[in-house]
Amino acid sequence: MEPLVVGAVAYTPNVVPIWEGIRDYYRTAPVEMDFVLFSNYGRQVDALLSGTIDIAWNTNLAWVRTVLQSGGRARALAMRDTDLTFRSHLVCRAGAGLHGPGDLKGRRLALGSRDSAQAAILPLHYLRREGITDGDVQLLRIDTDLGKHGDTGGSELDAIRAVLDGDADAAAIGITTWESIGRNELMPDALEMFWTSPAYCHCNFTALDTLDTARADAWTTHLLAMDWNNPEHRRILELEGLTRWVRPQLDGYTDLFQAVKEQEIAPRWL
């Protein structure tokens, strides 16, 4: 039987060994898989909708766009445990005197790429929920990795640089970027985090309802069987940034659906 074809976005060359490892893991599975790499999520969602690929490793925005474009015929198969508790942070220079979203009024906020849920779309959504409306904050948008939904982290690093350089008073970043720079523990006098968003979901494996259910379930069951205590599995899990694969919790996308609607973000990226 033909292997299932999984799509993923090559936001760094380092994704290649991850997907080669996952593909090799499926060589002993009831259903095998191969993978295809895309340069951006727009083309990947197109490929899923057209049937070029069977499953897409989607960001949360790519999931939302797939649902919207397919008329709700999308199905999430699995996600990382770390995708369940993703958050965004607002950071500023240490001692800047910012203590919450309300302190941003009249100040400059650096956002990551406009298609990044964690560094642009959801921070704006949550700020509006906190009563910060358009015009209250001067936005500095840094669109350095458009198409990759913020996966590179590059726009978030640039947003931090803008704060350090005095071009912005605060920056919106995802928790992975905050962790990668050592939070505020390596240089406590440089940056501080003054607000954390509610938790939301990030990536998931997305299929359409046209994918044979038995094959999709067999593929998912094998994925969920990856074991942190198995050294070969662990190598892959560490590279992909999780300790175990879990079933999706779709409630974690509710805020993003609302944000896409209120910010009038197009269902399809051109």
Partner 1 sequence: MAVILDLVEKLSVTAEGDTITLPITTPGQAALAASWCQRTGNTLITADATSITVRRGRPPDPITDLPPARRPGARLWLYTNFDCNLACDYCCARSSPQTARRALGVDRVKEIAKAAPAAGVLEILLTGGEPFILPDLDQIVTACTAALPTTLLTNGMLFRGHRLQILQAMPRDRLTLQISLDSATPDLHDSHRGKGTWTKAVAGIRIALGEGFTVRVAATLTTDGQHEERELRSFLDSLGITRENQVVRPLAHQGVADEGVELTVQTLIPEVTITADGVYWHPVGADNAEQLVTRDIFPLDAAIELVREQYRSHRNTADSAARAFPCA
Segment near partner 1 (CB under 8 A), from 71-79, 149-157, 198-206, 225-233? Answer: 149-157
Segment near partner 1 (CB under 8 A), from 20-28, 119-127, 132-140, 154-162? Answer: 154-162
Segment near partner 1 (CB under 8 A), from 8-16, 64-72, 100-108, 204-212? Answer: 8-16
Q: Does 153 bind partner 1 (CB under 8 A)?
A: yes
Report the site for partner 1 in 175-194 (rule: CB under 8 A). Answer: 177, 180-182, 186-187, 190-191
CB of 236 to partner 1, least distance (A): 12
Q: In the 8-state DSSP scheme, what is residue 120?
A: I
Q: Does 160 bind partner 1 (CB under 8 A)?
A: yes
Residue 104's nearest CA partner among 76, 136, 72, 79 is 136
Residue 252's nearest CA partner among 99, 159, 117 is 117
Residue 126's nearest CA partner among 143, 109, 141 is 109
Task: Please report the DSSP string for 214-255 in residue order.
Answer: HHHHHHHHHHHT--TTSHHHHHHHHHHT-S-EE---GGGGHH
Segment near partner 1 (CB under 8 A), from 47-55, 67-75, 114-122, 151-159? Answer: 151-159
For the CA atoms of 140, 141, 144, 146, the dihedral, rounded to the nearest 10 degrees, stands at 180
Residue number, 230 or 254, with CB nearest to partner 1? 230
Among 7, 154, 174, 248, binds partner 1 (CB under 8 A): 154
Among 77, 90, 157, 201, binds partner 1 (CB under 8 A): 157
d(CA 182, CA 159): 16
Output the CA torsion sign for 247, 251, 255, 258: positive
Which spans of this chain sit near partner 1 (rule: CB under 8 A)?
12-14, 17, 152-154, 157, 160-161, 164, 177, 180-182, 186-187, 190-191
